[in-house]
Structure 1
Amino acid sequence: MTLPRGFEVTLDRSTRVLDGGRALLGGNPVRLVRLGARARPLLSGRTVRVRDAAGAVLADRLLETGLAHPAVHALPPPPGADGGAGPDCTYVIPVRDRPRELARLLAGLPVGSPVVVVDDASHRPGPVVAVAAEHGARLLTLTVNGGPAGARNAGLRLVTTPYVAFVDSDVVLPPDAVPTLLRHFADPRVAMAVPRITGLVTPASAGWLGRYERIRSSLDLGTDPASVRPGTPVSWVPSACVVARVDALADGFDPRLRVGEDVDLCWRLARSGLRVRYEPSVEAAHEHRVTLRDWFRRKAEYGTGAHPLAERHPHNIAPAVLAPWNAALVLALVAQRRWSLPVAAGLCAVATARIARTLRSTGQPVRHAVRLTGGGAVSAVAQGSALLTRHWWPLTVLGCLVSSRIRRATAVAAVADIALEYRRDRAGLDPVRYGIARRLDDLAYGTGVWISALKGRSTAALRPRIVPARASARRKPGSRGRPGG
């Protein structure tokens, strides 16, 4: 499967062009890729446009390593799109007792698009039946509640088009969302494309939890496009809105999973060699839970997916992924001894020297090495802090009762991430309420993880993973993704 002529990719904003265009530094995990004499002319500025077989090979390599992403708005729409989703894509909408939200979603879908509404055993099915009929949607009624995965799979079995868009009933889609995502399927290896999930602004979302969710939602994976793979900054994508190639889905979502079914599907597709694209230039607005009880319960439910995912994907679920020097750095700092800072500095110096040796022929190798080491150190500290305040918080509480060092480390970890990420203009919250929401978020998710671990009688979802330095993935500081962050 090769990329077609006209396919265009653009270097990731973090990718550095070195040595006069002879090498690229970036990707996930970070790597140095040297361009041969034939490949160098194919890179025009920061763009590669496929014009021949050599261009297709280079563009595919850049996509595979995370050094570049599809220039989605420069790609042609798929056949039959005609400015809308077109007859080639069917919308499948699972719903349970949300007629108001369902009507809002259906009203915004492109006219003429095939739509299947799956009523997942509503307590009051009458209003759902009426809304589906009013908007001309096909209705499939389930007598037994199968959960999100089961409902989507039931709808998938009725799809006869090449593409399917799974959209939750509490989502609002702009008209160009699905048509834009369909452009990603010009790459024959793409199985699924997903937009950025933002918070829907409603009167209820004006409160402090609603404002927090608009910038720290578990479903919002940020502003950078990404290839979705385990161990990378975007290791999964939520299924609130998903566009997929029907023939790549096989049996669809795992119906045994009530939580984490989206993570499981992403990782199964990646394992089979297919691509999942995260496209943040497309946004879908989700009506978040904003009452404290519902919000806290939902965050905890996300955590309960940890152990089932650990059973299916034991190498992907670790709450922290660290290279040996990163792990040693975190341990040295947590120890808070006289030797802690010198040891930490020495570890960073050794890591810098090793990276600089790898980059010695690129020009300014030390400068680039210092930047990479600094990023790795910050990422390690962020992951260590998350272990203390999020994944391991029950152990942290016990440790704080007996150790002043753990108390100091926990206090620093709890305050540092707020200080690093808080922005009044983005949050619309004062630091105190932002900090309270952040800690409650960690408490709820961590509680769910521990519940799942205890039920499964396994610590697999709680154990960090130490990997060789060259295979480790540099995570974004403060990343709070569901499976391991």
Structure 2
Amino acid sequence: MTLPLGFVVELDRHTRVVDGGRALLGGHPTRLLKLTPKARRLLNGRLLPVQDAAGALLADRLLDTGMAHPVAGALPAPADPRCTVVVPVRDRPRQLARLLRSIGTGQPVIVVDDASRHPAAVAAVAAAHGARLVALTTNLGPAGARNAGLRLVTTPYVVFADSDVVLDPATVPILLSHFADPRVAMAVPRITGLPTAAATWIERYENSRSSLDLGAHPAPVRPGTPVSWASSACVVARVDALGEGFDAGMRVGEDVDLCWRLVAAGRRVRYEPAARAAHEHRARLGDWLLRKSFYGTGAQPLAERHPESVAPVVFAPWSVAFAAALLCGRRWSVPAAAGVLGAVTVRIARKLDGTRHPYRLAVRLTGNGAAAALAQTGALLTRHWWPLTVVGCVLSRRVRRATAVAALADIALEYRHDQATVDPLRYGVARRLDDLAYGAGVWLGAVRARSLAALRPRVTR
């Protein structure tokens, strides 16, 4: 399988062109890719249009490393773009009607009623919009309901859309363009908040910081990368790549599991923020907290199925030493942490030997790694391990100080990044409640399974 002529990729915003174009530095994990004179001529600024076999090979390599992403608006359309929309639903006739209106009449729609308590209302909405209704007598959960619809799909592509989303007319066409890459099995849009007239403060927080919103930049969906999973609230997939579909035994995390199984099979999953689907977020505090906790319980079944991919944080050995030195809070802590960073900088610079400014690049990379280590340490204290943190705060002033710094720094940095529409105080309260609820779900799943697999950090080179 190779990329077709006319396919265009663009370098990721974090990919640096070094040594006058003789090499590229970036990707996940970060690497240095040296370019031959012929490869350099294939690049047009930060764009690479595929015009021959050499261009296809280089573009494919850049996609594999995460150094570049497809330019959705410049991709050739798939030869057969026909698709079927599958909507799993349980009750929610109002939301279902809103979704079906946004879909229109351009493609077949299968509504799978997952044993609604009031099935007549769901059936009436499906009939009013010309959708095919599949009524399940037993509640299977979202995964099982989607699979029931998938078995009836006869088109090359399937769109899974939850009943509480609204699709933009351009969403599906933009995502379909990614299938010009024959290795792409699934493409997902950015999930944004559905505007409401009188949003609660929790809803306003969720609109700026939803767990489903994966950000403003395109990315491959792969474990261990900034976009390590994708929600099935809205998905476009190649039917022949899905096999039996979702794991029907999972009531939560089934979308993450499917992404990771596809990646393990050598397929690509793309996140494309140029395509959007609006999601009706939970507006009441109790419902919102329960949903966050429910998400957390998905960590344990994922750890059982993908032990190498599930970890609350992933550290390099040096970042463990760096964070541990700072957490000790002694007089020697800062000099020791600085010594670790200095040694890492020298080591990276040696690996970059042959570039014009190895130490300058090494300092930048080490700084990025240090910031990531601190962010992950803070996440352990305030999110994943917070029950242990509470005990530590009772026993140790240093733990109290470290937790306070982590919690406040996280709020300050994320509030600015998210451009939240709620005031800083309520944003901070919601941010901490978000972490507490999710962490509680992770611990609940671990206790039920009698396993700490979902709570163990991973140290890797």
Where does residue 166 of structure 2 map in the other structure?
172
1:9 aligns with 2:9: yes
1:159 aligns with 2:153: yes
Choose from 131, 135, 138 the match for 1:137. 131
Q: Tell me how far apart the structure 2 counterparts of residues 70 and 77 of structure 1 sit (CA, whole Å).
A: 13
Q: Match for 1:456 among 433, 438, 449? A: 449
Find the aligned partners of 1:330 and 1:163 in 2 and give their Cα distance: 46
Residue deviations 1:140-165, cap 9 Å, x none? 00010000000000000000000000
Aligned match of 1:68? 68
Q: What is the number of equivalent residue pairs in this alignment? A: 461
Q: How does 1:284-295 map to 2 (within 5 A)?
A: 284-295=277-288
Counterpart residue number, 2:290: 297
For the residue of structure 1 that corresponds to 2:38, the secondary structure is coil
Structure 1: runs of 5 or more not aligned: 82-87, 469-485
Q: Are 1:414 and 2:414 counterparts?
A: no
Deviations 1:458-481 (A, max 9, x none): 11100100001xxxxxxxxxxxxx
SS, match of residue 38 in structure 1: helix
1:190 maps to 2:184:
yes
1:273 paired to 2:266: yes
Does the 8 Å CA contact 2:95/2:163 hold for their aligned counterparts? Answer: yes
For 2:103, the equivalent position in structure 1 comes to 109
1:325-364 correspondence runs (5 A): 325-364=318-357
Aligned equivalent of 2:195, options 160, 177, 201: 201
Which residue of the partner structure matches residue 311 of structure 1?
304
Mean Cα deviation higher: 366-375 or 130-139: 366-375
Give per-residue Cα distances to partners, 1:204-247, cap 9 Å, x unaligned: 5x221011101111000111111111000000000000000000
Name the aligned partner's letter for residue 157 of structure 2.
Answer: Y
- Residue 78 of structure 1 deviates from its aligned partner by 2.0
Q: How far off its partner does 1:39 sit?
A: 1.3
CA shift at 1:352, angstroms?
Answer: 1.2
- Contact 2:8–2:48, Cα closer than 8 Å, also in 1: yes
SS in 2 for 1:44: coil
What is the distance in 2 between the residues matched to 1:421 and 1:118? 38
Structure 2 counterpart SS, 1:202: coil
Higher relative CO (Cα under 8 Å, sequence separation at least 6) belongs to: 1
Instruction: Tell me how far 1:424 sits from its aligned partner.
Output: 9.4
User: 1:478 matched to which residue of 2?
Assistant: none
Q: What CA distance in whole angstroms lies between the structure 1 residues aligned with 2:182 and 2:316?
A: 34
Distance in 2 (alpha carbons) for counterparts of 1:420 and 1:286: 25
Find the counterpart in structure 1 of residue 87 from structure 2. 93
Per-residue deviation, 1:80? 4.7
After TM superposition, the structure 1 = structure 2 runs for residues 445-484 of structure 1, keeping only pairs within 5 Å, are 445-468=438-461
Would the aligned equivalents of 2:186 and 2:237 in 1 still touch at CA under 8 Å?
yes
| Separation (CA, whole Å) in 2 of partners of 1:4 and 1:145 | 43
Number of the residue aligned with 1:480:
none
Q: Given that residues 77 and 180 in structure 1 are in contact (C-alpha distance below 8 angstroms), is that contact kept between their aligned partners in structure 2?
A: no
Give the Cα separation in 2 of the matches to 1:112 and 1:233. 35
Q: Check conservation: 2:185, 2:268, Cα contact below 8 A.
A: yes
What CA distance in whole angstroms lies between the structure 2 residues aligned with 1:448 and 1:369? 39
Rounded to whole Å, the distance in 1 between the matches of 2:283 and 2:179 is 35
Partner residue, 2:42: 42
**Per-residue deviation, residues 406-456 of structure 1 (Å, max 9, x unmatched):** 111111111111111213982122211111000000000000000000111
Q: Deviations over 1:329-362 (max 9, x none)?
A: 1111111011100011011111111112222322
CA RMSD of aligned residues (A): 1.1
- How far apart, CA to CA, are the structure 2 residues paired with 1:242 and 1:53? 31
Structure 2: distance between partners of 1:425 and 1:451: 29
Q: Distance in 2 between matches of 1:225 and 1:147?
A: 30
Question: 2:174, 2:274 within 8 Å by CA — same for their partners in 1?
Answer: no
**2:389/2:399 contact within 8 Å kept:** yes
**Equivalence for 1:482:** none
Instruction: Name the counterpart of 1:481.
Output: none
Deviations 1:168-203 (Å, cap 9, x if unpaired)?
000001101001100000000000000000111113
CA contact (8 A) 2:222 2:260 kept: yes
Unmatched tracts of structure 2, length 5 or more:
none
- Distance between the aligned counterparts of 1:430 and 1:202, measured in 2? 18
Within the candidate set 357, 377, 395, 2:370 is matched to 377
- 1:58 matched residue in structure 2: 58
2: CA distance, partners of 1:348 / 1:425: 29
Moved segments of 4+, more than 6 Å: none
Percent pairwise identity: 69
Q: Closer, same or farther in 2 for the Cα pair 1:445/1:177, shift >3 Å?
A: same
The 3 A distance-change label for structure 1 pair 198 and 180 is: same
Query: Secondary structure at the residue paired with 1:139?
Result: strand
Which residue is 1:247 aligned to? 240
Which residue matches 1:212?
205
Partner of 1:121: 115
Distance 1:329 1:252 in 2: 43
